[in-house]
Structures are given as structure tokens and as C-alpha cells.
Amino acid sequence: MKTWFCVLLLSVLFFRIRHPAKQIIFKPNLPAAHFAYGDATSSCSIETSGPEFAFCEDATVWPGTGNVLVSCDAGRKEWNTVMGPLMNPEPHGSLWLVGAKDAPQRVHIHNYPPKHDFHPLGIAVSDVQPDNDASNLFVVNHARQRSYIEHFSISLASGVPIATHIQTLSSRAFIAPNALALTSPTSFYVSNDHLLTRRLPSPFAPLLPMLETLLGLPFGWVSHVSIGNTQKQTHSAPFIPFANGVSISPSGTTLAVAATSLSVVYIYTRDPTTNVLSAPRTVRVPFHPDNLEYDASGTLVVAGHAHFPSLIKVKADTHSSAGVKAPSWVVAINPESFEVTTLFQSNGSAFSTSSTALRLDNVLYLTGLYEDGVMLCRIPSS
């Protein structure tokens, strides 16, 4: 009886991961660069601004400014709590302001606690508040001892982006926080990608986190957090394999979550009044999805990694990124038909390790987990 149960369990497990397993075993034959709206060579360019503007994981639209905020960590190859290694947490990461017309600007961070690490991952920013011309900014911070969520007030009133640190949010439930999606200026959904993390003592790490990833174990989840006089947290969506990017539709009635291990996107119906989520619809994508962002039309833009072994090779190359590349893939998911359409592809030579893509004002912005700068692809006006 036990033997049959084990056989049945393994059969179900391998059936669940058959699709992402193909993406691990087989490397797709992608072009050097493909852009759905025109010639990639003439339409797309990489904006750079020195060595700190590199290895940018997340990006989000800053409402009301026409700009994009980007989180970068140039020391990611020495400190990465998701993929490893955990070698050197000393160099701080950075935040950047990117626009279609101006050169990238580094966000000046004020009032940040001394001797407090800063390794930004997921970010989310509110509308500009009319009373003080500032927005609330929340940033996932993978510090050396544990992970936190940093709360800033960010403003462009002086002509340069300044983020003033307000508080550090801490919770035992922030085991592996990854991405954020605001439900108000003081509340948000946060994904936790793993239960078994790289922070576990040897020999449990890195073995157990890798098994959780490769076997598609549903140990990730999404929580809803509200801050005020007290911090409140509720479990919103459990049992998500490698819960990664999260995004709320413009209507506020849908939450999308990337399940990286299974190469799918979960799309939940959301009650905007209570923030309660219903059972999700599943949309399969042809790569391991990382982050995702709804655009103004309600179309979901998803970026991710088309070949996991290539991503691991890039991560392990500590000397340079010039000779080791990993494919990039970006798709759009229609909000009504759920049809998946490719927006951008690269075998890594034009742009490597895509982690976030978003559309704003006829520009497609791409960040790369282990890539220099941010790529901007111009969409012709219709």
C-alpha cells in the first residue's frame, strides 16, 4: 500500500512539473532580439549610468510622474537570498528613476539607519499625495540577518528624486518576501517565494530551497499587510509554488501572481473592499515568470527566464557578464481571452536575464536580474 501511494504521489508531482521541466532541460532557440512592434535594433536601447545601475530586479510605474522606479543591486552576485550566494552583504543596492526622455537618476536616500543593509528587490509606490507632493514607497530589503520591508516617502519636488526613510517593517511572516502590490498608500500584498530559504543552516541550504524550487512544491504564499498605529497581516493566497511577482489590475478587481516553479500565472478575482481573493485562474507561459505588471489598458505584461540552467551559469560567473548570457522573454496576457502574445525575446546577446517588463506611454521598459542598465523599446504611435 505504501509503495503504491509513493508511486501515485511521485506521478502527480512529475505531472505537475512536466511543463517547467522542459524549460529546464531544453534551451529555446531564440533570436538575438525580437520586438513585436518593430525592428529591435532600431527600437530598443539600453540606458546605463555607471556600475551601480546594474542587476536591476524590479521596476514599477510612479503614478502621476510619467517615470519608472527601478530597484538595483550591483552586488547581487555576492548576496542573493533567493538563488545564492550569501557571501558579502556589505555593498548597498540602489533605487533609480528612469524616464523615456531623461537620463536615469539615482534616488537619493535620506535618514536611512546606519549599519542597516540595503538589498532591494520588490518595490511599490503610491500616487503623489496632494498635501505634501510625496508618495509612499515600499521596498523589500534582503538584509544579512533577515528580510524586511522598508517604508520611504519619495518626492520629486526639488527636481531630484529623494526618498526619506520612515520605518522598517518587520514580521515573522516575512520569511522570503519578494514582490509588492499596493492596495492603498498604507497597505499592500506581498509575496513570499519560499518557505525553505538559503538562510537555513548547512546542510539544509542550499539543498532544501533548490528542491522546493525544482519540484514545484507549493510552499509560497501571498499576504496582505496594513500599516498604521499597528501592523496587520492576513494570509491571502496560500500554496503557491515560488510565489514571485504580484500586480493589481487598474480596476482593482484582479490580482496576478507569478508562480515561477510551475511556469504559470495565477489570476485571482479580488474584492477591493475586503482584499479577499477567490480561487485563481491559471495561465501558462513559455518560461519561468519572474515579475509582472498590468498596464493602463488592463493587459498583463510578464517577464521571465526561458532557461534556468543558463540563469544559474550567469549567477555563478563572478568575473564578468560579458561572455555568459541567459535568454530573456516578455509576453502580454489579454485580460479577456487570456491569450499569451510575445512582446520581446532575446537569446541573451541583446538583453539577458529579463526579470521585469512594463509598458508606459508607448515605451516597453525591461530590467535584467544580472544585466547592466535598463532596456527601453519604443512602441510606434498608432
Where exactly are the structural domains of the chain?
A: 2-378
The DSSP 8-state label assigned to residue 55 in this structure reads: S
Give mean pLDDT, residues 277-286.
Answer: 96
Q: Mean pLDDT over all residues of the chain?
A: 94
Residue 98 backbone phi and psi in degrees, to 5: -125, 130
Q: For residue 22, name the pLDDT band (cuts at 50, 70, 90).
A: confident
Alpha carbon 285 to its chain's center = 16
Q: For residue 13, name the pLDDT band (cuts at 50, 70, 90).
A: low
Residue with the bigger pLDDT between 295 and 319: it is 295
Residue 240, strand partner residues: 220
Task: Work out whether the CA dihedral 136, 139, 140, 142 comes out positive or negative.
Answer: negative
Cα angle vertex 126, ends 121, 131, to 5°? 140
State pLDDT tens for residues 97-136: 999 999 999 999 999 999 999 999 999 999 998 888 999 9
Q: Exposed, middle or buried by CB within 10 Å (0-12, 13-18, 19+), for 221?
A: buried
State pLDDT tens for residues 155-206: 999 999 999 999 999 999 999 999 999 999 999 999 999 999 999 998 899 9
**Contact of 44 with 341, CB cutoff 8 Å:** no
How many whole angstroms separate alpha carbon 178 and alpha carbon 144?
Answer: 15
Residue 15 in this model has a pLDDT that exceeds 70: no
pLDDT of 6 reads 58
> Of 313, 179, 291, 358, which is closest to residue 374 (Cα–Cα)?
358
State pLDDT tens for residues 49-97: 989 999 999 999 999 999 999 999 999 999 999 999 999 999 999 999 9
Grid cell 520569511 in the structure block, residue: 175
State pLDDT tens for residues 206-250: 999 999 999 999 999 999 999 988 899 999 999 999 999 999 999
For 2-378, the fitting CATH number among 2.120.10.30, 1.10.1760.20, 3.40.50.300, 3.40.50.720 is 2.120.10.30
